[in-house]
């Protein structure tokens, strides 16, 4: 449309990646530096960029990327305390902190913001001693006042309305903020909670006053938010009054607001410096967020844009709802008709209690002037009694919630898998796997079995994991068996039983170290009898026991974005030693390294690469065999020559 304009690409300062989100931007007091924070699936980074030179310094990095979880994209929050100190509010290990970063010494001081469940905004006062916070506590979003030096927090508002985006008016102790409150009184009865609106307007609150009354600046049926004060009489804020979020100006002198910007795309975030006429704003370019800097912006300009079709429909719905509500109030009042006094004869006087009243099956709300009743009292509608079952349900529904009760772990099935498998050695079989865990995920049970079609070979395992604390513990039992039947030439059975306990310590969300002591027992049995002198037969059976220890270091920053679709890097470094108990000459050691990288190319197309290295050491050194693949249909039995079969001796 000709009424709208698009941001000038020449004023673009930064364009983000598709998965990155700008949580906050803040201009330094001299408008030479721009601080911005990027949140990428809960991993956040804070940068300071010199607008003139383009130099970028990364000052804070924390968190890790997550999937299938709700991410709070509004943190970190930024605001300059003074020309050389940047304030950063973000969470770390479940607690919100205020970091004060000195750009000269490149040092930062952290202060915890206790008893706050969530922080939505921060703004420092002119001298930097106080900070206004919008925060959540006990389900309420209110304004708090923070003493930066003492780290003391005082609550300013305390009601069920949402108060957001507080900022200080220059050279004053007045805070301007956005709220969805329906009146300008701080202490509101809880019954007003039912009157909560989705419309946000601009209010001011004087810290020096003892009154409980706010000053309302705007009163629109739109979302007015993120106000900034130029002085005590002129304010700027974002609003979607016309359907697209743009910058507006409000003048306290004439109580009028005017539209300033006329962009065709929503302004998602912004900051201003009135002394230098600098306007920094964030819009979408396609699906990517982009920062623009206008160093010579005219804040006194005015614009006019028409309502978008969506906004027109919303306004029509709002006005129709208001008219319908007013009509219901009018119709809810009963019609009371005064007695008419006859002018000539008293004998024609109509008595009050006489008349006929006809019951209508459907009340249309219209008045039948030919058939009405004079009555001074309000006609009350009969309440519907309903059936016994409906009344019982209504009483049962209104019963108060009982509890709380102590949590009792209840285990339920989480995943059950049944599939066909083709083992490279044992052939065709059936795989059954099941997983169970409690509601909080503290206890997890894993089990599975693979059975070959001849019911003579297979695997079975059972595992329990305790995941409540920082260190994860587990216990596992597994058994593998292989039955070889080549007729009269070869008839053998191999079996391995292993019991393993493990403890895993995570250093970060991506790395962990695991120690796994184990006990393993292997058994070989030749099922063909050996004829000895004297005609005696003996079945050869060989068993070995091992005490083992495995140490693993795992790094994993991969993200699952679909079924069998990964993105990221994984690698595992493993060291395993098995000390033989029965025969010390059968002890061996294994060292392996497994590296995998998954690179997303386009949508569901992923390029996977893998590098693997492994080697055996010790007295009874084993060998790696190249070949074999799970579920491979074209197995070559001719390659199974005697040299590679397990040697029982």
Residue 532, pLDDT > 70, answer: no
* 92-147 per-position pLDDT tens digit: 888 999 999 999 999 999 999 988 999 999 999 999 999 999 999 988 899 999 99
User: Which whole number is the average pLDDT over 339-353?
Assistant: 48
User: Which whole number is the average pLDDT over 167-173?
Assistant: 92
- Whether 552 and 574 have beta carbons less than 8 Å apart is answered as yes
Residue 356, pLDDT > 60, answer: no
Least confident of 182-191, 195-204, 257-266, 360-369: 360-369
Domain layout of the chain by residue ranges = 19-112, 472-644
User: Which whole number is the average pLDDT over 597-623?
Assistant: 90
Give CA 330 to chain center in angstroms.
Answer: 47
- Whether 125 and 131 have beta carbons less than 8 Å apart is answered as yes
Query: Which of the four pLDDT bands, split at 50, 70 and 90, describes residue 11?
Result: very high
Q: Report the pLDDT value the prediction gives residue 357, as an integer from 0 to 100.
A: 45
Most confident of 30-39, 186-195, 208-217, 599-608: 30-39
* 293-334 per-position pLDDT tens digit: 999 999 999 998 888 888 888 878 878 887 887 787 777 655
Q: What angle do CA 620, 625, 626 make, to 5 degrees?
A: 155
User: Which whole number is the average pLDDT over 269-283?
Assistant: 95
Q: Report the pLDDT value the prediction gives residue 635, as an integer from 0 to 100.
A: 66
Mean pLDDT, the chain, rounded, equals 84
DSSP 3-state assignment of 486? coil
Q: Report the pLDDT value the prediction gives residue 486, as an integer from 0 to 100.
A: 77
Q: Report the pLDDT value the prediction gives residue 250, as an integer from 0 to 100.
A: 95
User: Which whole number is the average pLDDT over 597-614?
Assistant: 90
Residue 408, pLDDT > 70, answer: yes
Residue 432, pLDDT > 80, answer: yes
Residue 409, pLDDT > 70, answer: yes
- Whether 15 and 259 have beta carbons less than 8 Å apart is answered as no
Higher model confidence: residue 380 or residue 541?
541
* 29-43 per-position pLDDT tens digit: 999 999 999 999 888
Q: Report the pLDDT value the prediction gives residue 192, as an integer from 0 to 100.
A: 52
Least confident of 181-185, 212-216, 493-497, 504-508: 181-185
Residue 43 is given by DSSP the state E
User: Which whole number is the average pLDDT over 338-361?
Assistant: 47
Q: Report the pLDDT value the prediction gives residue 531, as an integer from 0 to 100.
A: 66
* 219-267 per-position pLDDT tens digit: 888 999 999 999 999 999 999 999 999 999 999 988 899 999 999 999 9
Higher model confidence: residue 325 or residue 443?
443
Higher model confidence: residue 517 or residue 453?
517
C-alpha 315/C-alpha 348 separation (Å) is 55
Element (H, E) at 392: helix 388-397
Residues above pLDDT 70, as percent of the chain: 82
Q: Report the pLDDT value the prediction gives residue 637, as an integer from 0 to 100.
A: 59
C-alpha 613/C-alpha 572 separation (Å) is 11
C-alpha 478/C-alpha 520 separation (Å) is 10
Token couple for 415 = 């995943």
Q: Report the pLDDT value the prediction gives residue 643, as an integer from 0 to 100.
A: 47
What's the predicted TM-score (pTM) here? Answer: 0.70
Least confident of 56-70, 115-129, 436-450: 56-70
DSSP 3-state assignment of 391? helix
Q: How many CB atoms lie within 10 A of CB 291?
A: 22
- Cα distances from 7 to residues 285, 311, 408, in angstroms, run 10, 22, 57
Q: What angle do CA 462, 415, 443 make, to 5 degrees?
A: 55
Q: Report the pLDDT value the prediction gives residue 42, as an integer from 0 to 100.
A: 87
Residue 68 is given by DSSP the state S
Residue 485, pLDDT > 70, answer: yes
Query: Which of the four pLDDT bands, split at 50, 70 and 90, describes residue 500?
Result: very high
Residue 416, pLDDT > 60, answer: yes
* 487-499 per-position pLDDT tens digit: 767 788 999 999 9
């Amino acid at each position: 449309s000709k009424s709208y304009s698009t941001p000038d690409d020449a004023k673009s300062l930064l364009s983000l990646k598709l998965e990155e989100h700008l949580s906050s931007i803040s201009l330094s007091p001299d408008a030479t530096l721009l601080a911005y924070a990027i949140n990428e699936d809960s991993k956040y980074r804070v940068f300071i960029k010199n607008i003139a030179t383009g130099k970028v310094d990364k000052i804070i990095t924390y968190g890790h990327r997550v999937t299938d979880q709700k991410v709070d994209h509004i943190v970190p929050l930024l605001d300059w305390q003074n020309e050389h100190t940047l304030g950063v509010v973000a969470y770390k290990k479940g607690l919100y902190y205020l970091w004060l970063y000195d750009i000269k010494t490149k040092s930062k001081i952290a202060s915890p913001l206790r008893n706050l469940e969530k922080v939505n905004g921060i703004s420092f006062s002119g001298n930097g001693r106080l900070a206004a916070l919008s925060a959540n506590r006990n389900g309420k979003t209110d304004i708090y006042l923070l003493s930066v030096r003492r780290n003391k927090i005082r609550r300013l508002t305390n009601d069920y309305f949402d108060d957001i985006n507080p900022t200080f008016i220059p050279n004053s102790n007045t805070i301007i903020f956005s709220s969805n409150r329906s009146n300008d009184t701080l202490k509101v009865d809880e019954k007003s909670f039912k009157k909560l609106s989705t419309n946000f307007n601009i209010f001011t609150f004087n810290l020096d006053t003892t009154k409980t009354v706010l000053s309302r600046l705007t009163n629109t049926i739109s979302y007015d938010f993120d106000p900034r004060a130029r002085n005590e009489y002129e304010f700027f804020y974002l609003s979607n009054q016309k359907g697209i979020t743009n910058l507006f100006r409000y003048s306290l002198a004439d109580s009028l607001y005017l539209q300033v910007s006329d962009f065709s795309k929503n302004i998602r975030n912004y900051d201003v410096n009135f002394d230098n006429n600098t306007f920094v704003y964030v819009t979408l370019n396609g699906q990517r967020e982009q920062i623009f800097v206008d160093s010579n912006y005219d804040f006194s300009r005015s614009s006019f844009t028409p309502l978008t079709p969506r906004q027109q429909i919303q306004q029509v719905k709002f006005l129709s709802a208001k008219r319908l509500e007013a009509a219901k109030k009018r119709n809810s009042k009963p019609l009371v008709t005064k007695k008419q006094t006859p002018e000539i004869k008293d004998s024609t006087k109509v008595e009050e209690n006489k008349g006929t009243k006809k019951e209508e099956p459907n009340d249309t709300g219209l008045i039948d002037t030919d058939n009405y009743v004079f009555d001074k009292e309000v006609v009350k509608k009969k309440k519907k009694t309903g059936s016994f079952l409906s009344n019982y349900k209504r009483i049962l529904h209104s019963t108060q919630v009982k509890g709380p009760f102590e949590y009792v772990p209840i285990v339920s099935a989480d995943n059950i898998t049944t599939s066909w498998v083709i083992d490279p050695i044992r052939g065709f079989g059936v795989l059954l796997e099941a997983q169970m865990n409690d509601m909080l995920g503290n206890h997890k049970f894993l089990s599975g079995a693979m059975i070959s079609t001849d019911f003579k070979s297979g695997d079975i395992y059972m595992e329990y994991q305790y995941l409540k604390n920082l260190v994860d513990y587990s216990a596992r039992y597994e058994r593998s068996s292989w039955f070889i039947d080549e007729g009269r030439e070869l008839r053998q059975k191999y079996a391995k039983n292993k019991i393993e306990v493990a403890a895993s310590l995570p250093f970060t969300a991506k790395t962990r170290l695991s120690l796994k002591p184990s006990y393993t027992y292997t058994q070989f049995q030749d099922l063909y009898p050996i004829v000895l002198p004297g005609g005696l037969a003996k079945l050869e059976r060989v068993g070995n026991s091992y005490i083992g220890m495995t140490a693993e270091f795992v790094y994993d920053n991969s993200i699952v974005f679909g079924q069998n679709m990964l993105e990221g890097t994984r690698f595992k470094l493993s060291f395993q030693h098995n000390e033989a108990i029965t025969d010390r000459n059968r002890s061996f050691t294994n060292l392996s390294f497994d590296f995998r990288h998954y690179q997303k190319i386009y949508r569901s197309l992923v390029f996977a690469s893998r590098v693997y290295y492994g080697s055996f050491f010790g007295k009874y050194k084993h060998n790696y065999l190249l070949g074999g693949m799970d579920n491979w249909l074209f197995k070559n039995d001719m390659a199974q020559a005697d040299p590679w079969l397990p040697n029982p001796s």
